[in-house]
Amino acid sequence: MSTLTSINARTGEPQGKPLNASTMEEIDAAVQAAAAASDTWATSDGTQRATLLRALADALEADREMLVARADLETALGPVRLNGELDRTAFQLRRFATIAESGVPFERLDDPAVAGGPPVGHPAMVRQRVPLGPVAMFAASNFPFAFSVLGGDTASALAAGCPVVVKAHPGHPGLSQRVFGLIQQVLKAQGLPAGLIGMVQGASVDVGVELIRHPLIAAGAFTGSTRGGAALQAVANARPRPIPFYGELGSINPVVALPSALAARGAELAITLAGSIALGCGQFCTNPGLIVLIDGPESDEFVAQLAKALTTQKPHPMLTAGMRTAFDAGVRQQQELGAQTLVQASGEGLAPGPKLLQVNAQRFLERSGLHDEVFGPSSLIVRAASVAEVLAVLNAVGGSLTVTLWGADEDTPDNRALVRGATAIAGRVLFAGVPTGVAVTAAQQHGGPWPASTAPMTTSVGDAALERFLRPVCLQDAPAWLLARQGVPC
C-alpha cells in the first residue's frame, strides 16, 4: 500500500508515522457517501447551508493556534501569512453563507406563456439553476487553507448545494487531517451526513485520477500546475460521460511598466514589485513572473532599482524540496534560452535566493520556453523597443490570470491598444498595485484563457465561483405544486 508522509518544510525531516494513501475502495466509499448526501443537500435551503458554512468558519477560528502551527510546520509559510490566510478562508466561508442565504443564485427567471404560434408564441417556461452533484475538489499546495480542504472551491460548492470529496494535497497531510476532523465534528453537531464532505489522500496521481473518473462525480475543481491540471482535465474528458472540469493552472502575470509611471514613481514601484516577486517565496499563482519594459532611461534606472530591491529580499523555504528543484531548473532553462542574469542571490538551506533575469522582446518571442511559468521568487524582464512589441509579447503569453499595466493614465491610442491587449489575455487587469493578493469580492475574476484556466468563463475566487456548480434547467408548463416550491425543484 502506498503511503504519504508529513514533512517539516524547513528541515526536510519527516514528521510522525507515514499515512496510508486512500485505497480504491475508500475512494469509492467517499464518493458513494457524497452521492447519498446529494439529494438532501440539493434540497436544503439557504439558511441550512449558511448555518453549516458559518459553523465551519467558526471551527477554523476556534482551532486557529493548532491549525496555524501545523500549517507552518508543513509549509514554512510563516504564522503571519498563515493567520491571514485562515482569516480569508473563514471570510469566504461566511461570504458564501450570505450568498446562499440571499437565494440570489437560485432565483427563477419567469417566462410566462405567450399566446399564438411560433416564433412569438410559446408555453410557460421557468429557468432556474440546479446543483450539479458531488464535486471532486483538488487542494493546492501553496494555500493550505484558502485553496485546500475548506477553501473557496469547497465553500462555493457547498453553497451551491453540492457535496464535496476533497483530494487533500500531500504537501500538508497533517493539516488536512486536522481540518477534516473539525469538519466531521461540525457535520455531526448539525445532524448532517458525514459523507457530505469527504476526503481522500495520496502522494501519487492515482488517487486523483480514480476520483475524477468515478461515475458519480459530477464536476472537478482543481488549483495547481498546468501539467497536473491538464492531465486531470484529459481524464475528465475521457470519461464515458465527460463532466465540467474547472482547473486554475499556471500563469506568468505580466507587469507592463510604462516609462511615464517609472518616471513618476519608479523607485517606489521597484520596491513594491520586489516585494511581490519574493512574497511567500514567490509561490503564488499571481506571482509577477514577467516584467515588460519599453527601452529608455526610465526603464534602465528601474531595472537597477528593482535588482537592488530584490537582492534585499530573503525568501523562506519553499513548500517542498521538489518545488525547490523545479525552481532551480526553471531559472536554468531561462538562462539556457538566452536570458541574462541580473540577480542570482544564493539561497540558504531549502530557501532559494531571489532571481532576476532579462531578455529582449525579439528573443522572448522566438523562444516559447521563455513563456513558461517559473514557480518561485524569480521574474523575467522583457525589454521591448515599442508599444507594438509590448503587444506582441502579451499576445505570445496568450493566457494569464492577471496583467498589470502601470502608467495607462491617459486616454491615448497606445493606452487603448495596451488595455485591449491586456484584456484579451487576462482575467484581471490591474492599473495600480501588484497582482499578488486576490481579494474575495463580488467583481473578482480569477481565471483567464489557457493556460491560466481550463474554463476561462469561470472564476475560482469571488462570488461568481458558486456559479460553476449550478446548471440551468428550464421547466416547461410546470405544475402548480412545483412552482410553489422555492429554490431547487424537489
Q: CA Rg, the chain, in Å?
A: 24
CB of 311 to a second copy, least distance (A): 28
Give the type of residue at 433. G
- 336 is a catalytic site residue: no
Closest CA to 436 of 409, 410, 461, 415: 461
Query: Which cell goes with 102?
Result: 440571499
The three-state (H, E, C) secondary structure of 268-331, written as one string: HHHHHHHHHHHHHHHCCCCCCCEEEEECCHHHHHHHHHHHHHHHCCCCCCCCCHHHHHHHHHHH
8 A C-beta contact, residue 435 and residue 276: yes
Query: 89: exposed, middle or buried (C-beta count within 10 Å: 0-12, 13-18, 19+)?
Result: buried
Strands 470-476 vs 125-131: parallel, antiparallel or unpaired: antiparallel
Which of 74, 101, 210, 248 does the annotation list as catalytic? 248
Closest CA to 81 of 457, 437, 370: 437
CB of 310 to a second copy, least distance (A): 24
Query: Which cell goes with 93?
Result: 466561508
8 A C-beta contact, residue 16 and residue 172: no
| Pairwise CA distance, residues 483 & 275, whole Å | 55
| Pairwise CA distance, residues 106 & 472, whole Å | 10
The smaller minimum CB distance to a second copy, of residues 263 and 419, is found at 419
Query: 120: exposed, middle or buried (C-beta count within 10 Å: 0-12, 13-18, 19+)?
Result: exposed
CB of 451 to a second copy, least distance (A): 8
CB of 378 to a second copy, least distance (A): 24
The smaller minimum CB distance to a second copy, of residues 297 and 472, is found at 472
CB of 26 to a second copy, least distance (A): 24
- Give the chain's largest Cα–Cα span: 78
CB of 488 to a second copy, least distance (A): 8
Which of 74, 101, 210, 285 does the annotation list as catalytic? 285
| Pairwise CA distance, residues 283 & 142, whole Å | 6
The three-state (H, E, C) secondary structure of 226-276, written as one string: HHHHHHHHHHHHHCCCCCCEEEECCCCCEEEECHHHHHHHHHHHHHHHHHH
Closest CA to 144 of 206, 83, 221: 83
CB of 170 to a second copy, least distance (A): 27
Closest CA to 164 of 128, 202, 192, 129: 192
Q: Which helix (H) or strand (E) holds 74?
A: helix 64-75
The smaller minimum CB distance to a second copy, of residues 93 and 382, is found at 93
Query: Which cell goes with 363?
Result: 528573443
CB of 125 to a second copy, least distance (A): 4
CB of 322 to a second copy, least distance (A): 26
- 248 is a catalytic site residue: yes
The smaller minimum CB distance to a second copy, of residues 243 and 392, is found at 243
The smaller minimum CB distance to a second copy, of residues 209 and 417, is found at 417
The smaller minimum CB distance to a second copy, of residues 191 and 240, is found at 240
The smaller minimum CB distance to a second copy, of residues 55 and 126, is found at 126
The smaller minimum CB distance to a second copy, of residues 332 and 420, is found at 420
Strands 125-131 vs 109-111: parallel, antiparallel or unpaired: antiparallel
The smaller minimum CB distance to a second copy, of residues 144 and 202, is found at 144
| Catalytic positions, written as ranges | 248, 285
